[in-house]
Amino acid sequence: MAKYKKYDYSQNLLIPVSLENQLMPGTLEFAIHTLVENRLNMSVSDAKYQNDETGRKAYDPKILLKVVLLGYSRGLTSSRQIEQACCENVTFMAMSCNQRPDHSTIATFVSSMKEQIQPLFSDILLVCEQEDLLGGTFFAIDGCKISSNASKECSGKIDDLLKAKEKIEQKIKSVVRDHLETDHSEDRAKTRMAANREKQIERLQQQADKIEQWLSENDRKIGNYGKELHSNVTDNDSVKMHTSHGTIQGYNCQALVDAKHQVIVHGEAIGKGLDNENLPPVIDGAKKNVRSIGKPEDYFEDKILTADASYHSITNINKCNDEKLDAYIPDNKFRSRDERFSSRTDKHTKRFTFADFKYDRKRDSYICPNGKRLRRNGKQGLYKGKPIKRYISREIDCKFCQLRLRCLRYRDAKQRHFTYYVDASGKNISHEMIKKIESEKGRKIYPRRIAIVEPVFGNICVQKRLNRLNLRGKIKVNIQWLLYCMVHNIEKVANYGQV
């Protein structure tokens, strides 16, 4: 007969635990504990508390920040998960010194860090600088679209929201009508059905009241060009964005990364899906951060900056020129001109691009691949407040041209023309950037972008499991995003620094 060891769940154990020994040197939790305890100026949080003479003692902000950063590093995004970890996980017990803040305390602490988050992020950046983790010569920027704590079904223009409210009210009337028909019935099944209808009516009424209250407090959301944008009843700062996984309601989380050890110099959550205007606020934020750690005002001058094709816009390129950045931002047709991808396109059907037209500086005109001339159309004008130039061909030249199928976008088009933005000197801003990317130097520099910035988002979104933001409003979402950026930078200190 088989023999087994006996076990008894009623026995008592006394396990000695040293909290300090649970935080082993070389680990991320040790780096978080050491930096928050010794290198971060937590006095910035003192102004939030007014319990010097009266009131209950508050949890030390150091303890709260430690458990939040440790929770984010372990993929715990909600305050309830962090609260549970402080009660069950030995590492969290050691980090909190066996204090157990509840989820409401943790959530309030995070959402109220509007004034404190930027100085704390700068303190971590200063540690990275002191540990020689910043190269300061090569930077890359990119964004990651992350779902917010809001439903995309609650999005739409004001007229759409009004129609949604009317549909809900019509549904309420229909349910109430059915409810009255079975109100006096003694059948138990019908009685249960009536109870469910009451809950349904209450739920629908809450939805209608929520939309009505939001409409009374908010105006139409107008974009840069005067068109109405989609609003969201739950989180109006978030936007609908198209991603590789479908359409989401969320934020475009930006990060400017230093190339040496992939340290995030600045991070910002932006409620805008397209990146064509996201570079200026990130650059401005990065300049403030480097000034706070003692760097000069012209820190970014002549430094290399790379970004993908979604950042190729006049606004972003002008910002790089104003800051004297050596920027490399390709256009959307960058790959189609790359020889490595030439086999994917039939050379006989490949459409002519702007690069196929030669510029005649003396006559201020362009010569097409068939030798015909595109002349300047009028004086330099303005489009959407920015200076432009326009060139157009003659109808007779395009009518019988053998290359018109490769040149004109539509079969019934009569002329080839193109318009582009120019700088103060009249140069084509976009074309100048394209030539820079197509140069031998640009071909060597730009491919380095993906190895600098993409692993950062892989670490935060995959390893740290940030696949959804659980706060609402740009201010609070930006706090959470910067906390994750801090965790990433602290991990770099733990791996490559001497702390």
* Tokens, residue 343: 């086999």
Measured at the CA of 81, the angle between CA 76 and CA 84, to 5 degrees, comes to: 135
Whether 310 has a pLDDT exceeding 90, the answer reads: yes
The CA distance from 276 to 278, in Å, is 6
Residue 23 falls in which region: left (phi positive, over 0), alpha (psi -120 to 50) or beta: beta
Quick one: which of 225, 209, 126, 129 has its CA closest to 165? Answer: 209
> Using 50, 70 and 90 to split pLDDT, how confident is the model at 345?
very low
Classify each residue of 224-233 as buried b or exposed e, where b means 16 or more C-beta atoms within 10 Å of its C-beta.
eeeeeebbbb
pLDDT of 377 strictly over 70: yes
- pLDDT at res. 281: 96
Ranked by mean pLDDT, the top range of 162-171, 182-191, 216-225 is 162-171
Res. 352 pLDDT band, cuts 50 70 90 = confident
**From residue 311, how far is each of 142, 276, 277, 294 by CA, in Å?**
9, 5, 8, 29
Dump pLDDT digits (tens) for 4-38: 999 999 988 888 888 889 999 999 999 999 999 99
The contacts of residue 115 (CB under 8 Å, 6+ apart) are 44, 47
> CA-CA distance, 133 to 206, in Å (whole number)?
52
In angstroms, the CA 190 to CA 182 distance is: 7
pLDDT on residue 498: 79
Q: Could you give the C-alpha distances from 70 to 92, 127, 369, in angstroms and in order?
A: 8, 18, 61
**Is the model's pLDDT at 188 over the cut of 60?**
no
pLDDT at 424: 59
Q: What is the 3-state secondary structure (H, E, C) of the chain?
A: CCCCCCCCCCCCCCCCCCCHHHCCCCCHHHHHHHHHHHCCCHHHHHHHCCCCCCCCCCCCHHHHHHHHHHHHHCCCCCHHHHHHHHHHCHHHHHHCCCCCCCHHHHHHHHHCCCCCHHHHHHHHHHHHHHCCCCCCCEEEEEEEEEECCCCHHHEECHHHHHHHHHHHHHHHHHHHHHHHHCCCCCCHHHHHHHHHHHHHHHHHHHHHHHHHHHHHHCCCEECCCCCEECEECCCCCCEEEEECCEEEEEEEEEEEEECCCCCEEEEEEECCCCCCCCHHHHHHHHHHHHHHCCCCCCCCCCCEEECCHHHCCHHHHHHHHHCCCEEECCCCCCHHHCHHHHHHCCCCCCCCCHHHCEEECCCCEEECCCCCEEEECCCCEEECCEEEEEEECCHHHHHCCCCHHHHCCCCCCCCCEEEEEECCCCCEHHHHHHHHHHCHHHHHHHHHHHHHHHHHHHHHHHHCCCCECCCCCHHHHHHHHHHHHHHHHHHHHHHHCCC
**Model pLDDT, residue 426:** 64
Which pLDDT band holds residue 414 (cuts at 50, 70, 90)?
A: confident
* Mean pLDDT value of segment 173-177: 83
Kindly state the tokens that stand for 294. 């003692």
Which residue is listed with tokens 């969201």? 232
Pairing relationship of beta strands 381-383 and 365-367 according to DSSP bridges:
unpaired
Q: Which residue has the higher pLDDT, 9 or 410?
A: 9
Per-residue confidence (pLDDT) for residue 385, from 0 to 100: 64
Tell which residue, 140, 134, 182, has the closest CA to residue 305: 140
> What's the mean pLDDT when you consider all of the chain?
89
pLDDT, one tens digit per residue, over 440-468 is 999 999 999 999 999 999 999 999 999 99
